[in-house]
Amino acid sequence: MELEVDIEKRLGAFCCAAAFTVHSLRCGVFGPSGSGKSTLMNLLAGLVVPDRGRIRLAGHTLYDAEAGINLPPEQRRIGVVFQHARLFPHMNVRRNLLYGWRRTDPGDRRIEPEALIKVLNLGHLLHRGVTRLSGGERQRVALGRTVLACPRLILMDEPLTGLDEELKYQIIPYLQRVLDQFAIPLLFISHSLREMRLMTDEVLVFHDGALQAQVSTESLARSDMATAGGGYVNMLHLGPPRQVGDLWCYPWGETELVLTEGGGAGDKFFELEARDIILLKGRLAAISARNLLTCRVVGLFGVNNRVGVELDCRGNRLVAQIVQESVCEMGLAAGGEVVAAIKASSFRRIV
């Protein structure tokens, strides 16, 4: 996306001021409650008028105080997905989905309804009334309706908050597939670091109405985990596994990971705590850990009084967390080679 923002808005005692440019396709807006995330979204969507500044999206000026430009929400081509799916109750799934598409200029219709319906797995529900859908199905319809209006940008304001944990992580793969397949830029608001890591590459960090930092999601995760008690957590996106006895082998770049958890169709997301990775130099005669990965040390960084060791495992990244004493004893430094030993049971499935 190409989103250029330089705006200011005062709401009572609160002032939201932000100047930034976003190039990445998936950007997050992160910050504590009351930091101005929703205000920013309302300003971008045209629901609240800034006091000054300008907003440009994909080369189009949406707002420019000096030039007297202020496009109304319906002309901004920004789709908004809210926390609760706001569907038209008197229309069935198909009519809800096609609502925005029918109102979109035929020249701007980049997405075929049939392709999207397939990605969202809604084909069997098209004729059903939306009052007879589950929470997850309603969210998929709401997402589909927004996408079919072919927006230049989708804003999601805490779209997963309020869903139970299981439902939340069922929806994430659909969101990712839709955004990837149709290359739609996303601005994703959340105060969950885990959701940020699943959904974004870059993050705008807000505090007290002001933009505090614009950083990669990975560096946000590292700085957050450096101060939190638990330490660094690796997040792995793994493809369909094959079963070998009681264990499951997942392709992982040029190699495989062996896990105790498996089954079911589709891709899965797992968390692996960095402190559960043991680093070795040289081979042992035997070890119970099922994963022995030869890695190159990319770098070292501080995590909560421990050392994060960033590893390159044949093109895949992992972070192990060890104590400083081990770093010295093993002579760990960037460029060195180590073996990472991981138990098959150390991976925790989240999606």
Ligand X SMILES: Nc1ncnc2c1ncn2[C@@H]1O[C@H](COP(=O)(O)OP(=O)(O)OP(=O)(O)O)[C@@H](O)[C@H]1O
Residues at the contact surface with ligand X, assessed by CB under 6 A = 11-12, 14, 31, 33-39, 191
| CA separation for the pair 83, 156 (Å, rounded) | 8
Strands 337-342 and 291-303 turn out to be: antiparallel
Q: Residue 28 or 36: which CB sits closer to ligand X? A: 36
Q: Residue 192 or 260: which CB sits closer to ligand X? A: 192
Q: Residue 14 or 88: which CB sits closer to ligand X? A: 14
Q: Residue 56 or 191: which CB sits closer to ligand X? A: 191
- 3 state SS of 151: coil
Q: Are 223 and 217 in contact (CB under 8 A)?
A: no
| CA separation for the pair 83, 262 (Å, rounded) | 31
Residue 15: count of CB within 10 angstroms of its CB: 15
Q: Residue 11 or 284: which CB sits closer to ligand X? A: 11
Say if residue 239 is exposed, middle or buried (CB neighbours under 10 Å; 0-12, 13-18, 19+): exposed
Beta partners for residue 81, in sequence order = 156
Q: How far is the CB of 42 from ligand X (least distance, A)?
A: 8
Q: How far is the CB of 158 from ligand X (least distance, A)?
A: 7
Q: How far is the CB of 200 from ligand X (least distance, A)?
A: 16
Q: Residue 32 or 123: which CB sits closer to ligand X? A: 32
Q: Residue 35 or 291: which CB sits closer to ligand X? A: 35
Q: Residue 80 or 93: which CB sits closer to ligand X? A: 80
Q: Residue 32 or 240: which CB sits closer to ligand X? A: 32
Q: How far is the CB of 349 from ligand X (least distance, A)?
A: 28
Q: How far is the CB of 187 from ligand X (least distance, A)?
A: 13
Say if residue 284 is exposed, middle or buried (CB neighbours under 10 Å; 0-12, 13-18, 19+): exposed
DSSP structure class, residue 277: P
Token representation of residue 345:
């049971």
Q: How far is the CB of 219 from ligand X (least distance, A)?
A: 21
| CA separation for the pair 35, 14 (Å, rounded) | 9
Instruction: Give the dihedral sign, CA 123/125/126/130.
Output: negative
Q: How far is the CB of 146 from ligand X (least distance, A)?
A: 19
| CA separation for the pair 295, 302 (Å, rounded) | 20
Unique residue bearing structure tokens 């094959």? 242
Q: How far is the CB of 70 from ligand X (least distance, A)?
A: 18
DSSP for 298-337, please give it.
EEEEEETTEEEEEEEETTEEEEEEE-HHHHHHHT--TT-E
Terminal C-alpha separation, the chain = 27
| Residue 308 one-letter amino acid | G
Q: How far is the CB of 126 from ligand X (least distance, A)?
A: 34
